[in-house]
Amino acid sequence: MSITYDVLIIGGGPAGLSAAYLCHKNGLSYLVLESGKAPFQGIANTYPEGKLVYASRPKDAPEPFMVDELRPPDKPVTVESYLQYVQHFVQHENLNIQTEVAFEDIKDGRDGLTVITSKGSFKGKKVVLSFGSNIPRELTVYGDAKMVAKNVDDPAKYIGIKTLVIGGGNTAADVIISILKAKRQENDTHPVYWAHKAETFDVNKETAQRLGEEILLGGNIRLLPGSIPRIGEVDEEGVDRLIIRINEFKQADGIDLYHSLSFPMHNVIACIGSQGPMPIFDKLGIQMIACAAGVCKIAKEGERLVLLTSEYESTRKGVFVIGGAISPSYMKISEGAITEEKHPNLIYTAINDAYHVVEAIKKKLDK
Ligand SMILES: Cc1cc2nc3c(=O)[nH]c(=O)nc-3n(C[C@H](O)[C@H](O)[C@H](O)COP(=O)(O)OP(=O)(O)OC[C@H]3O[C@@H](n4cnc5c(N)ncnc54)[C@H](O)[C@@H]3O)c2cc1C
């Protein structure tokens, strides 16, 4: 029989780790499921190297940081030292976290909720969604084979193979630079293909300079502007492959001619940006409300905001949402009224949401 946790926490950022620590302190059983290699992966992926982390608090915030242990120091430190501190904290408190587990869905069960992930399913009485606001976009291609990497953990994995990087921005360029560097160190001349759906790439000056330097040092890069990933298929040898269309010739007789390349999926990295968590809320059947004209001050007209109680419970019973996932605003149901509630995307907000949600769950579970 598998364990039923009091709380399953999805995402191990400031919100998820604070929730975990508070569960731990309050005697609630819990498990954090984090898709990255380590807790705080979201911050590790999005902050530039050497960035200072500020203990920012909204001016009108009534509370202090409710989990002092995870609050960034008053005198700002670099993201690297904040991350190092968090790693020590997790080890010291022995927090229960499984990494490299990607959340996929929630099913209702007889005795609680079942969370479906890339590494099997887990049972919990309550689920806290704390997956932040940066959900990597999935490639939309036809066919069954779809799983491609979205970042590069270890550039050495791409030595000796022809790699395809998809995306036209700084993230894609950074991935290419790290692979070219690794290849250069090993005298590997296999090219890196760089595909983008638009005709031009869009990177900042500093990234362009670093990329230019790698090319001048011998980096073998083939540009594929105007290329569209089309099909994910499993070939006759059972290898998942991505077919990307690099040219399209419209013919007068209506029979078009395409040029495509087919890459094994494990040679492909898609850096095609991130999106808010709305598609996940839709998939989970969590209700959202569209801002009608003049109703919302923060969100624009027509934007959909997730509907939550004052304890951050969604319309899906037992499923709570906290942190960056509900920023910059959400719809709060309180005393029969629904109003837009400001919710700044800050470490402070993430930590304090966790405090309020764990307090609410404690009461609901009678602990
Ligand atoms: C460049 C930058 C600088 C910033 N600087 C500051 C600052 O100085 N001070 C400040 O207060 N705030 C700052 N912020 C904002 C702050 O980082 C966020 O408010 C905070 O990280 C939100 O915490 P969170 O736990 O809700 O989400 P996140 O930190 O995004 O954590 C979510 C976690 O969930 C994981 N995850 C995502 N999807 C899944 C899935 N499907 N399954 C399992 N796990 C998943 C992610 O890997 C991640 O580890 C900054 C943000 C950015 C982008």
The pLDDT mean for the chain works out to 94
For ligand 1, what atom is nearest to the CA of residue 11? 34
pLDDT tens-digit map of 126-170: 999 999 998 878 788 898 776 788 878 789 999 999 999 999 998
CB-CB neighbours of 29 under 10 Å: 16
Band (pLDDT 50/70/90 cuts) for residue 23 is very high
Q: What Å distances lie between residue 11 and 60, 194, 332, CA to CA?
A: 28, 31, 23
The percentage of the chain sitting over the pLDDT mark of 90, rounded to a whole number, equals 84
Three-class SS of the chain: CCCEEEEEEECCCHHHHHHHHHHHHCCCCEEEECCCCCCCHHHHHHCCCCCEECCCCCCCCCCCCCCHHHCCCCCCEEHHHHHHHHHHHHHHHCCCEECCCCEEEEEEECCEEEEEECCEEEEEEEEEECCCCCEECCCCCECCCCCCECCCCCHHHHCCCCEEEECCCHHHHHHHHHHHHHHHHCCCCCCEEEEECCCCCCCCHHHHHHHHHHHHCCCCEEEEECCEEEEEEECCCCCEEEEEEEEEECCCCCCCEEEEEEEEHHHEEECCCEECCHHHHHHHCCCEEECCCCCCCCCCCCCEEEEEECCCECCCCCEEECHHHHCCEEEEEECCEEEEEECCCCHHHHHHHHHHHHHHHHHHCCC
Q: Are the C-beta atoms of residues 306 and 313 closer than 8 Å to each other?
A: no
Q: pLDDT value at position 193?
A: 98
Domain 155-270 CATH class label: alpha beta
Tell me if 4-133+277-364 shares its fold with 155-270. Answer: yes
Dist CA 131 CA 32 (whole Å): 11
Average pLDDT estimate for 228-236: 94
Dist CA 44 CA 76 (whole Å): 16
CB-CB neighbours of 238 under 10 Å: 6
Tell me how far the alpha carbon of residue 320 lies from the centroid of ligand 1, in angstroms: 17
Show me where the domains of the chain are located.
4-133+277-364, 155-270
Dist CA 333 CA 308 (whole Å): 6
Domain 4-133+277-364 CATH class label: alpha beta
Q: Which two tokens stand for residue 68?
A: 């002092």
Residue 1 pLDDT more than 70?
Answer: no
Question: Looking at the whole model, is its pTM more than 0.85?
Answer: no
Q: Which residue owns the Cα nearest ligand 1 atom 48?
A: 42
Average pLDDT estimate for 193-221: 96
Q: Which residue owns the Cα nearest ligand 1 atom 30?
A: 132
* Cis status of the peptide bond prior to 328, with omega within 30 of 0: yes
Q: Which residue owns the Cα nearest ligand 1 atom 3?
A: 47
Q: Which two tokens stand for residue 217?
A: 């040092």
pLDDT tens-digit map of 333-362: 998 899 999 999 999 999 999 999 999 999
Is 32 exposed, middle or buried, given 0-12, 13-18 or 19+ CB atoms closer than 10 A?
A: buried
Which residues does a 6 A CB cutoff place in the pocket of ligand 1? 10-16, 33-36, 40-43, 46-47, 53-54, 56, 102-103, 130-132, 134-135, 323-325, 345-348, 350
